[in-house]
Amino acid sequence: MTMAVTVQSDEEQGGAAGRVLYIDTEGTFRPQRVQQIAAARGLASLEDGSASTVTDNILVARCWRAELCKRKLTSIKLNVRVQKAKRRIFLAF
């Protein structure tokens, strides 16, 4: 989850200023944890609601079976091609 937060940083801060696709194969993604990580890294504040922006930039795909993951990745691949010119998207497993 840390990578899903830090990749959203500006390029000057070592990030890529992009959105993230988090593929959750174990059911462990927690938006509250993402907000804590963002606050700890100085990317957002829990008090002013900016941590929600970090969470909103993470697209979560949950899949527990290989066939479901394959279908979701195929669907995501098609969507990423459409959005590629608009914004960067990174994968996190």
In contact, 43 and 9? CB cutoff 8 Å: yes
pLDDT (tens digit per residue) in 74-89: 777 655 554 554 455 5
pTM for the whole thing?
0.68
What's the pLDDT tens digit per position in 28-68?
999 999 988 988 888 876 667 677 788 888 888 888 888 88
Residues, the chain: 93
pLDDT at 61: 82
- What pLDDT is stored for residue 30 in this prediction? 93
Q: Where are the domains of the chain?
A: 2-92
The CA-CA-CA angle for residues 51, 55, 59, to 5°, reads 165
How far apart (Å, rounded) are the C-alpha atoms in residues 36 and 47? 11
CA distance 55 to 53: 5
CATH code given to domain 2-92: 3.40.50.300
pLDDT at 90 over 90: no
